[in-house]
Amino acid sequence: MPIYEFWCSSCQQKFDIYQPGFSNISHSCPKCGNKKLERIFSPFSIRKTNRQVYEEIRDDHQFEQAVKGNDPKAIAEFVERTGGGSEIPDECKETIGKLAKGEWPMKGNKPSESE
């Protein structure tokens, strides 16, 4: 049962509509009642198993070199490259920002080569 996203040009509102089945049902804007709606592309995701995620990380040689070289910029690049365009959670933005600048998130806590 698909969920479709629509855009109402009358009130500039974006909204979702759950539509049982795949029939072509006429909808109206829940805010202003406008019937001239534009269906817009909705992003979607495909879930991976934990094993698939682990194997991707394990097989990523750029990431391996970044970790071995204690390179914070390369680790930030890995996060951006593998994020799949996902929004970075607010609680992670500061940490990734520091890594991208070549800084470790906490002063004096550079990973040791034995870890």
CA nearest 8: which of 47, 41, 36?
Answer: 36
| Lookup: tokens for 59 | 């097989």
pLDDT at position 11, please?
93
What's the number of CA atoms in the CB half-sphere (13 Å) around residue 7? 7
The label of the residue with tokens 């990431």 reads 63
Q: Which residues have CB under 8 Å from 12's CB, separation 6+?
A: none
pLDDT at position 32, please?
94
Domain boundaries, the chain: 3-40, 50-100
DSSP 115: -
The model scores a pTM over 0.75: no
Please give the Cα distance from 68 to 63 (Å, whole number): 9
Q: What is the pLDDT of residues 55-75, one digit of tens each?
A: 888 888 877 887 788 888 888
For residue 8, count CB atoms less than 10 angstroms from its CB and return exposed for 0-12, middle for 13-18, buried for 19 or more: buried
pLDDT at position 75, please?
85
What residue spans of 35-88 are helical by DSSP H?
50-58, 61-68, 72-82
Residues with pLDDT less than 70, the chain: 1-2, 20-25, 43-45, 84-85, 107-115
